[in-house]
């Protein structure tokens, strides 16, 4: 069985690094990294990952705008997407429920919890 591939789209290098190390070390997943929404969309089209972990707060194009743009591409529509957000306020979470996302994971997180949450959201 081939390894799962997860694309992380986050503008913070520290977060990308922590997530990459966690997913590789704990779950053995392959990790692709993108530093912006635009870069993430380009990489998703090129690499077709098994799942996408998308940061909500990013300059230029935020997570919602990135996700909405990905939804316009039939190839990307079927890739499960999990939002990564430091802002887990109830008002924002209502906004998420209207989107066809797989789930929301709040920052900060502990590495084992991140993998556990992703496994449960993705049924891996």
- Residue-level pLDDT at 80: 97
- Residue-level pLDDT at 120: 97
User: With 0-12 CB in 10 A as exposed, 13-18 as middle and 19+ as buried, what is 108?
Assistant: exposed
- Residue-level pLDDT at 107: 85
- Residue-level pLDDT at 46: 97
Residue 104: how many other CB atoms lie within 10 Å:
18
Q: Pull the structure tokens for residue 57.
A: 């707060």
Dihedral sign for Cα atoms in the order 15, 13, 70, 123? negative
Average per-residue pLDDT for the chain = 91
Residue 21: how many other CB atoms lie within 10 Å:
12
- Residue-level pLDDT at 1: 61
User: What tens digit of pLDDT does each residue of 3-25 get?
Assistant: 899 999 999 999 999 999 999 99
- Residue-level pLDDT at 94: 63
Residue ranges of the chain with per-residue pLDDT less than 70: 1, 87-96
- Residue-level pLDDT at 2: 76
Prediction pTM value: 0.92
Domains present along the chain, CATH in parentheses: 5-114 (3.40.50.2300)
């Amino acid at each position: 069985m081939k390894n799962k591939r997860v694309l992380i789209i986050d503008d913070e290098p520290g977060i990308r690094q922590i997530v990459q190390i966690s997913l590789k070390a704990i779950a053995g997943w392959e990790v692709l990294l993108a530093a912006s929404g635009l870069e993430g969309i380009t990489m998703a089209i090129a690499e077709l990952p098994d799942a996408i972990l998308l940061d909500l707060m990013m300059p230029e194009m935020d997570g919602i705008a990135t996700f909405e743009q990905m939804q316009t591409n039939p190839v990307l529509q079927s890739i499960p997407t999990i939002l990564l957000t430091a802002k887990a306020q109830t008002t924002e979470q209502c906004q998420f429920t209207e989107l066809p996302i797989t789930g929301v994971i709040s920052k900060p997180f502990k590495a084992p919890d991140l993998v556990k949450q992703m496994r449960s959201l993705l049924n891996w």
